[in-house]
Amino acid sequence: MPQGTKLEMKAFPWFGMDIGGTLVKLVYFEPKDITAEEEQEEVENLKSIRKYLTSNVAYGSTGIRDVHLELKDLTLCGRKGNLHFIRFPTQDMPAFIHMSRDKHFSSLQTTLCATGGGAYKFEPDFREMADLQLLKLDELDCLIKGVLYIDSVKFNGHSECYYFENPTDPVQCQKKPYNLENPYPLLLVNIGSGVSILAVYSKDNYKRVTGTSLGGGTFLGLCCLLTGCSTFEEALEMATRGESTTVDKLVRDIYGGDYERFGLPGWAVASSFGNMMCKEKRESICKEDLARATLVTITNNIGSITRMCALNENIDRVVFVGNFLRINTLSMKLLAYAMDYWSKGQLKALFLEHEGYFGSVGALLELLNPT
C-alpha cells in the first residue's frame, strides 16, 4: 500500500457509536484484508480488541452482538471487511468507560465518533476517566447518513428495505423487498425511547417535523409498571400472547357496531385502556393483555401522528426505524396496517433491516469521510 494513502487513511479501530436514552449502539468495522506487515505493526491492544469483539456474541452480561445483521465483505474506504453491530444498555455506559480506560483505548491513534444524546452527556466522563476525546455528531445527521448508506450497500446482497404486502389482510400479509432507489421525499420516523419524525428532501436537506414522548421507552416503562417485567424481550413476549380488546374500549363496545355516521369501524379502539375504568375488569385482567394493549396504544399513536405529519408535509412514503421495532413484527404490521387503512391506501410504510443502528453507522461514516 502506497505511503500516502496510508497516511490519509484513518487508523484502526473503526468505531461508530450512538448513545441513546436506553441503548448504546456500536458498529465496528473488522478489516479482513490485513497484510502480514500490518499484522506485525498492529499493536497488541488493537489486536485484542478485534479478537474480543469478533470472537464473542455477548459481552459482559448485557452487551450483545446482532450476528444476523453483520454486513460481510464490505468495502469501506478502500478496505475490505465485515461490519459488526453491537448494543448494550445505556445504563452500563460507566462500565464501558471504565473498560476503555483499563484497555488503554487512549493509546490508540483513533477518534471515537459518537452521536446520540449520550455523546454530550458522557463526554466529560470519557475525557476525565478514560482520557478519550469524543467527536460529537448530530444524531439526525448521522441517522440519515446511515440509512442512505446501508440501503445503498444492500444487506449481504438482499434488499435492506422492505414493506408488508396486503397489510390489511392478516393471512395474506407478507414481507416484501422494497427498492428505495429514489427515496425523496421521505418521512423518516425514528422510534427509540422517544420518537423523532423527519421529513427528508435530499441527502442533506431535511427537517425535524415533530416528535413524541410516547415511544419505545414508554412501552417498556409502562409494561414494567403494569406487569413487573424488566426487559423489552419479556414485555414483547407477553404482548405477543396477549389480547388488547379486553383492555381497550372499542367503538363497538360503545355503539354496538360501527359508528357509521363518522365512518368508524366497530373494531377501532375508541379509548385505549378504556375498559380499565371499570373496577371488575381491572381485577380480572391478565398481564399479557396489559402488555399487548400498551404495545397497541403506543404503536397506533405513533401511526396517527405520522399520518398527520405525512399529510401536512405532503409525503406519501414513510420509513420506520429505531430499536422499538427490533423483533417487533407486531408493531411493524400494525403500523403497515394503520398507514394503509386510514389513508385509504395512499400511504406506504417501509421498514429497514438494521432498525436501530443507522445513527452509529452514520457516526462511523463521519469518522471516515468527515464533512
Partner 1 sequence: MDKSITLPPDEIFRNLENAKRFAIDIGGSLTKLAYYSTVQHKVAKVRSFDHTGKETEDEPLYEISVQEEITARLHFIKFENAYIETCLDFVKDHLVNTETKVIKATGGGAHKFKDLLEKKLKLKVDKEDEMSCLIKGCNFVLKNIPHEAFVYVKHAEPEFRFQTTHPDIFPYLLINIGSGVSIVKVESEDKFERIGGSSIGGGTFWGLGALLTKTKRFDELLQLASRGQHTSVDMLVKDIYGGAYGSLGLTGDLIASSFGKSATADKEFSKEDMAKSLLHMISNDIGQLACLYAKLHNLSRVYFGGFFIRGHPVTMHTITYSINFFTKGEVQALFLRHEGYLGAIGAFLKGAEEDNPNQYSWGENYAGSSGLMSVSPDMFPMQRTRSGTFDMLEMDRLERQLVNLPLLLDSSSYIPDTMDLTEDAMAREYWLSCFEEALDGVVKRAVASQPDLQDARERAEKFRLKYRHKLQTLRHQPCAYGSLTVRSLLDTREHCLNEFNFPDPYSQIKQRENDLALRYFQKVVRSVEMLNWEDRQFALVKGLLAGNMFDWGAKAVSDVLETDPAFGFDEAKRQLQERPWLVDSYSKWIERLKGPPHKCALFFVDNSGIDIILGVFPLVRELLCRGTEVVLASNSGPALNDVTYNELQILTERIAAMDSVIHSGITKERLILVQSGSSSPCLDLSRLDKGLATLVRERHTDLVVIEGMGRAIHTNYYAVLRCESLKLAVIKNSWLAERLGGKIYSVVFKYEQPSK
Tally DSSP H helices, then E strands, for the chain: 14, 17
Here the contacts of 120-128 (C-beta below 8 Å, separation 24 or greater) are 121/19, 122/19, 122/93, 122/97, 125/93, 125/94, 125/97, 126/97, 126/100
- Phi/psi class of residue 164: alpha, beta or left (left: φ > 0; alpha: ψ in -120 to 50)? beta
Would you say 152 or 284 has its CB closer to partner 1? Answer: 284
To partner 1, the closest distance from the beta carbon of 310 in angstroms equals 10
Would you say 31 or 274 has its CB closer to partner 1? Answer: 274
To partner 1, the closest distance from the beta carbon of 5 in angstroms equals 34
CA 302/CA 321 separation, integer angstroms = 12
Would you say 223 or 365 has its CB closer to partner 1? Answer: 223
To partner 1, the closest distance from the beta carbon of 233 in angstroms equals 12
Longest dimension (CA), the chain: 78
**Residue positions annotated with a catalytic role:** 139
To partner 1, the closest distance from the beta carbon of 214 in angstroms equals 6
For residue 49, count other CB atoms closer than 10 A to its CB: 18
Would you say 139 or 151 has its CB closer to partner 1? Answer: 139
To partner 1, the closest distance from the beta carbon of 15 in angstroms equals 20
CA 345/CA 334 separation, integer angstroms = 14
Supply the DSSP symbol for 175. Answer: E
Residues lying near partner 1 in the complex (CB under 8 A) are found at 20-22, 116-118, 120-123, 138, 140, 192-194, 208, 210, 212-218, 220-222, 224-226, 228-230, 247-249, 254, 261-262, 264, 268-277, 279, 282, 290, 297, 300-301, 304-305, 308-309, 311-312
Half-sphere exposure of 119 (CA within 13 A, CB side): 22
CA 207 to chain centre: 19
To partner 1, the closest distance from the beta carbon of 168 in angstroms equals 19
- Phi/psi class of residue 258: alpha, beta or left (left: φ > 0; alpha: ψ in -120 to 50)? beta
Strand order in the sheet with 186-191: 174-177, 161-165, 348-352, 317-321, 186-191, 195-202, 205-212
To partner 1, the closest distance from the beta carbon of 127 in angstroms equals 13
Would you say 21 or 31 has its CB closer to partner 1? Answer: 21
CA 145/CA 365 separation, integer angstroms = 8
Q: Are 317 and 186 in contact (CB under 8 A)?
A: yes
Torsions phi, psi of 195, nearest 5? -130, 135
Would you say 45 or 246 has its CB closer to partner 1? Answer: 246
Would you say 107 or 312 has its CB closer to partner 1? Answer: 312
